[in-house]
């Protein structure tokens, strides 16, 4: 076992691999599957590899080292930072039928000393590939799911012990259930009703502490996130009409970007664009992100978290944006399946707690209060 990787074998790991391959990605015989993840995720990567082989798929494992990103940003020149994605990265997004990406960092702060300008250069270099990736996803040409394998670094960031964090991860995915897939199918049905109802509405207003935000979403789609795009999952999201976002919002939790925390973010919007941005800590990074490109001051996604099994902020957006009773907003790139049209090199989520009396109105009607939909 590699140094720094913590061996965890747990029957829930086999359940997770089965669910990812069969439910989330719908892998079939003959499908080409790419599995990308840190070597820290070796136990899960091997379980997924085995599961895919049993089905008759053609899996490829593409392991990496957590330390490479730190070395890259430390030693790469501006020319290298702006280079097109590597042939391997291109192939993983353009040539496979299915792609699984697994977060498993040993140190979530490894990029905390990297300046915003370097990260921006690197992000811009991947813009075209990102566009191709999401187009393939939206057309059904490729299936993708992003997940996480517990590590000491993630546990420490979440303020938990390693085994406590592993339990948190597995329970959020309903892996303690006898039949997790059946449980996720129930969630699909519940959220489908919410999605269908929201699709019928045109104008929305989100009201909470220091927050009064309005937007239009006529002709856009509220996507039911039921364990297919992320695992664990639990949200419904849309891409608002880009120039209709108006008002102000204060985010309850720190925004996390590249291991750096931006605290007490407050944004003001006019005609869809951020015109004022303040933060108690990390304001320089906040403004650098807003100035990434022409689309980074516009909203690409607005979503409602619905997973009741995730209640604690863990400083990892894969989990935090799913917290039941929260709303999150992403600046930058829209997800095409929501019919959003904003383009950007970034897609950065920030989280607002609605559980203490927050409200959502649709076409003037109260549809959500204190973390609960009133029609679900």
CATH number, domain of 93, equals: 3.40.1830.10
Q: Torsion over CA of 120, 122, 126 and 127, rounded to 10 degrees?
A: 20
Q: What pLDDT score was predicted for residue 376? A: 59
Q: What pLDDT score was predicted for residue 6? A: 47
Question: Do both 230 and 310 map to the same domain?
Answer: yes
- Is residue 5 in a domain? no
Please give the mean pLDDT across all residues of the chain: 94
Taking residue 31's Cβ as centre, other Cβ atoms within 10 Å add up to: 19
Q: What pLDDT band is residue 5 in, cutting at 50, 70 and 90?
A: very low
Domain ranges, residue 149:
11-172
Question: Do both 49 and 101 map to the same domain?
Answer: yes
Tell which of 144, 172, 200 closes a domain.
172
- Is residue 2 in a domain? no
- For residue 309, give the nearest of 208, 100, 167, 160 by alpha carbon: 167
Q: What pLDDT score was predicted for residue 9? A: 64
Taking residue 114's Cβ as centre, other Cβ atoms within 10 Å add up to: 18
Question: Do both 165 and 188 map to the same domain?
Answer: no
Describe the chain by its helix, strand, coil percentages, rounded to 5.
35, 30, 40
- Whether 203 contacts 214, CB under 8 Å: yes
pTM of the predicted structure, to 2 decimals: 0.93
Instruction: Give 166-224 pLDDT, tens digit per residue.
Output: 999 999 999 999 999 999 999 999 999 999 999 999 999 999 999 999 999 999 999 99
Cα angle 89-132-173, degrees, rounded to a multiple of 5:
75
Instruction: Number of helices (H) and strands (E) in the chain: give both, helices first.
Output: 12, 19
- Is residue 6 in a domain? no
Whole-angstrom Cα distance, residue 43 to residue 5? 10
Question: Do both 61 and 157 map to the same domain?
Answer: yes
Question: Do both 24 and 137 map to the same domain?
Answer: yes
Q: What pLDDT score was predicted for residue 291? A: 93
Tell which of 172, 193, 216 closes a domain.
172
- Whether 38 contacts 150, CB under 8 Å: no
Domain count, the chain: 2
Question: Do both 217 and 281 map to the same domain?
Answer: yes
Partner residues linked to 34 by β-bridges: 60, 99
For the chain, give the percent of residues with pLDDT over 90. Answer: 87
- Is residue 178 in a domain? no
- Is residue 342 in a domain? yes
Please report the sign of the dihedral spanned by the C-alpha atoms of residue 123, residue 128, residue 133, residue 137: positive
Q: What pLDDT score was predicted for residue 258? A: 81
Stretch 41-66: mean pLDDT: 97
Tell which of 112, 144, 172 closes a domain.
172
- Whether 53 contacts 218, CB under 8 Å: no
pLDDT value at 7 more than 60: no
């Amino acid at each position: 076992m590699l140094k720094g990787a913590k061996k965890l074998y747990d029957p829930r790991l086999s359940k997770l691999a089965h669910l990812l391959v069969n439910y989330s990605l719908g892998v079939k015989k003959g499908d080409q599957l790419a599995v990308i993840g840190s070597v820290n995720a070796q136990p899960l990567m091997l379980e997924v590899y085995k599961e895919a082989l049993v089905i008759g798929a053609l899996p490829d494992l593409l392991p990496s080292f957590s330390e490479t990103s730190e070395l890259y940003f430390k030693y790469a020149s501006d020319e290298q930072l702006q280079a097109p994605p590597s042939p391997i990265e291109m192939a993983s997004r353009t040539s496979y039928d299915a792609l699984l990406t697994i977060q498993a960092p040993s140190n979530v702060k490894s990029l905390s000393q990297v300046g915003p300008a370097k990260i921006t250069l690197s992000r811009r270099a991947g813009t075209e590939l990102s566009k191709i990736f999401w187009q393939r996803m939206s057309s059904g040409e490729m299936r993708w799911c992003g997940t996480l394998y517990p590590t000491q670094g993630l546990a420490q960031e979440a303020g938990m012990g390693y085994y406590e964090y592993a339990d948190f991860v597995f329970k959020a995915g309903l892996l303690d259930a006898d039949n997790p897939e059946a449980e996720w199918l129930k969630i699909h049905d519940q959220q489908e009703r919410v999605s269908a109802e929201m699709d019928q509405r045109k104008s929305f207003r989100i009201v909470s502490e220091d927050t009064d935000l309005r937007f239009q979403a006529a002709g856009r789609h509220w996507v039911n996130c039921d364990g297919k795009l992320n695992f664990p999952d639990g949200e419904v999201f849309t891409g608002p009409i880009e120039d209709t976002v108006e008002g102000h919002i204060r985010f309850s939790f720190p925004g996390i970007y590249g291991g750096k925390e931006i605290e007490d973010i407050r944004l003001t919007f006019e005609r869809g664009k951020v015109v004022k941005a303040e933060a108690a800590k990390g304001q320089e990074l906040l403004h650098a992100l807003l100035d990434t490109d022409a689309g980074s001051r516009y909203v690409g996604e607005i979503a409602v978290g619905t997973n009741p099994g995730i209640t604690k902020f863990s400083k990892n957006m894969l989990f935090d944006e799913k917290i039941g009773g929260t709303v999150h907003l992403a600046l930058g790139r829209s997800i095409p399946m929501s019919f959003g049209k904003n383009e950007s090199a970034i897609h950065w989520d920030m989280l607002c707690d609605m559980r203490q009396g927050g409200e959502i109105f649709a076409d003037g009607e109260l549809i959500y209060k204190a973390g609960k939909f009133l029609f679900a």
